[in-house]
Chain A
Amino acid sequence: MNILSYEKSFLALGAVLLVCCLLALGYASFAMGIHLPGEEGLIDPETARETPPFDAPGLRQTGDGTYEAVILASAWKFEPNEIRVPTGSEVTLTATTVDVIHGLHVTGTRVNMMLIPGQIARVTYTFRQPGEHLILCHEYCGINHHTMFGKVIVE
């Protein structure tokens, strides 16, 4: 039995597997346009409430079928805590926090970002099917963390 040659084939197979995973990831990000939140700008959390666009949290239409939802997180609520959009809308969620780290995850979608004091977070998603989604704070933010949520209603 030559263990070494078995090992080589095993590792080669593993390498092929990993490369396939990476190719799939490349395809997802370039061909399917799945992107991560990135550098979207800085903000002072203590004055965020007075700083545009966060001085007026809410949904606004930015074009034909496109919207921007400006969301302000604080312990333990999202403002606004309900967003209604028509089916098929492309929504850009722009969010930040005024106090501790919060999370923002819209269930059933890939909208999933951390809200970190000092940073603006942004992600775009198209809601193709009617229905209801929860907006959840999924990072521990204090004693009432499990009560912090909102809703996206796709009509």
Chain B
Amino acid sequence: MSARPNTATVYDPSGYDVPESQKKPMRWAIYIGYAALIAGIFHGFAQALSYAKIDILEYFPGLRNYYQGLTAHGVANALIFTFSFSNGFLALMTARALSRKLNSALLWASLALLGLGNVLVIFAVVTGRASVLYTSYAPLQAHWTYYTGLVLVVLSTWAALLNMLMALSAWRKEHPGERVPLLAFISVCSYVMWFLASLPIAVLFLGFMIPWSTGLLAKTDPLLSRTLFWFTGHAIVYAWLLPAYVSWYALIPRQAGGKLASDSLTRLAFVLFLVLSIPTGLHHQYTDPGISTAMKTLHLLMTFGVFFPSLATAFTIIASLEIGGRARGGKGLLGWFTKLPWGDPSVTAQLLAMITFVFGGITGLINASFTMNQVIHNTTWIPGHFHMTVGSAVALTLVGVAYWLIPYLTGKELWGRRIGLWSSWLYTIGVLIFARGMASAGLEGMPRRIYRARATYDLPSWELGGILTGIGGTLMFVGLLLFFVVIAMTILVGRKGGGPEDIPFSETLHPPKTSGWEVSMDRLMLWVGVALVLIVIAYGPFFAGYLPAKLVSPGFNFF
């Protein structure tokens, strides 16, 4: 193997099959993820209609109020869907890329933690004990099962990471001096970033929320809670995004008939995300009192910094796609674009995800600019923005991945390719209309997180935006229902033995360098160290000036 340079993003390109016994827990984690996506969008649909002043909540059996449903939507779609998928997907990518088994016990432990966490969260939300929204801001107080369930979900991600790290270090021992296969590196890097990012929320939940909700701690500190939440909460969006980037970088070029343009730049982008994602969280708190403008400005600068690896991503991905489009006979400046495999539902979903993400990125820069932030903070502009990021760039990518991943994991042929294509187009058109509506009404001050269909105030300038939200949301809903049909039918009636033998890993144009500065990019511990330094610079002064915690608030149950 090592005799000839390996341009594949995996160690053994000739074929390595992850053992069926290990595919099973991965499959279940991924199923939980997609099930959460579907469970979450029913109330998403109701929310979109509520913004169009159409109230369908009475048709939801057992639903107590809008905010219980909104909590379910945020938790299921933003937290459970993304992390369940990543637990299975990143573990699978790592195993395949290193071409070696993972630890079975840890795989099952991760799945068990995820399952148990889900049971607790579902219990708390369904019984109306946790209508606090996924942000869980104190001093609204949920039942302890809600916080505990979320902690278990986080623990399941840590178990998945540990498994990946163990495999990586074993591989390194067996292959001294070799570059880590690219797909393994970026998969592990994604979850290492998330591990660092998750520490503040672990402190928040274990140190404050759980003791406070069980009565051990009488009062809590709302501003400190919020700050710990966003300490994790900005980087969490990169934890959602990076698994999608793994697909865009290491799989999509191959699926589109091309090659990944650059190995080094790919690693560099992930290293930059690892280093820069976390020290930016205060940009969610521009309008908070009690935090100095100097600290907010520092985080603003960091936020603009972390935009950089996304720019690099845009370049590398487009270049890789262009290589594919030209290899398929595309000519001229843009001819390659139409030659991409638009008939392949997996590729189409992800191309549409990328296109939508351009708007997500631009609106994100606007959010990061504190002047504009004062106009749009907590208006519907924000859901407009993030349905084009996590709600499309991530969600549609994970939808696209499902079209080969589910067949790969089950060995069954994909059912209903055309329906799959319809699904992505409907969702994309829907989300663009939805976001147009939410963004424009948001600029006029329409608040997010309100049950607009029953609100006691209104403005004429919100009318059009509300209607577009309803129309777009309906299309999104129908699109994802179609996705669900495709996946369910594939699992139930897909032709046996019709799944792909291997994952669609890409080749790079050139093999990774084995000398020079590029080699040090593989030193994850080094980058963790740099990340920690930046985190201390970004958050140290705030905590030094703020602590000790100001325990002023008892719990409130206003839901």
Contact = CB atoms under 8 A, between A and B. Distances in A.
Interface of A: 3-4, 6-7, 10-11, 14-15, 18, 21-22, 24-25, 28-29, 34-40, 42, 44-46, 75, 99-101, 103, 105, 107-108, 110-122, 134, 136-143, 145-147, 149
A100 B378 CA distance: 16
Given A117-B222, A118-B550, A118-B552, A11 B133 contact: no
Contacts of B223: 116, 118-119
Nearest to A35: B293
Given A117-B553, A134-B457, A108 B445 contact: yes
A35 B297 CA distance: 11
Contacts of A42: 290, 550
A11 B311 contact: yes
Contacts, number: 188
Given A6-B319, A101-B139, 11 more contacts: A6-B315, A10-B311, A37-B287, A38-B292, A100-B139, A100-B558, A107-B459, A112-B374, A116-B222, A116-B223, A142-B67
A46 B370 CA distance: 31
A77 B287 CA distance: 20
B550 A3 contact: no
B422 interface: no
A117 to B, nearest CB: 5
A113 B289 contact: yes
Interface in B519-559: 550, 552-553, 556, 558-559
B337 to A, nearest CB: 16
A105 B445 contact: yes
B31 interface: no
* 6 closest cross-chain pairs (CB), A and B: A142-B558, A107-B445, A138-B447, A121-B289, A138-B378, A110-B374
B262 interface: yes
Interface string B273-308: 000000000000111111111001000110010011
B382 to A, nearest CB: 10
B552 A99 contact: no
B449 interface: yes
B451 interface: yes
B221 interface: yes
23 contacts: A3-B262, A7-B315, A11-B312, A11-B315, A15-B308, A34-B371, A36-B287, A36-B296, A40-B290, A75-B558, A107-B445, A112-B378, A116-B288, A117-B139, A137-B447, A139-B378, A142-B67, A143-B67, A143-B558, A145-B451, A146-B452, A146-B454, A149-B457
B512 to A, nearest CB: 15
A22 B552 contact: no
Name, among A14, A29, A117, the residue most crowded by chain B CB atoms within 10 Å (CB to CB). A117
A44 B219 CA distance: 12
Nearest to B311: A14
Contacts of B509: 3
B375 interface: yes
Contacts of A141: 140, 558
Contacts of A139: 137, 378, 449
A145 B290 contact: no
A30 B543 CA distance: 27
B385 interface: no
A112 B382 CA distance: 14
B2 interface: no
A122 B293 CA distance: 13
Name, among B223, B226, B456, B552, the residue most crowded by chain A CB atoms within 10 Å (CB to CB). B552
A7 B265 contact: yes
Contacts of A111: 374
A107 B447 CA distance: 10
A134 B445 contact: yes
A146 B312 contact: no
B335 to A, nearest CB: 15
Contact of B449 (A24, A28, A35, A140): A140
Contacts of B436: none
Contacts of A138: 377-379, 447-450
B261 interface: yes
Contacts of B222: 101, 116-118
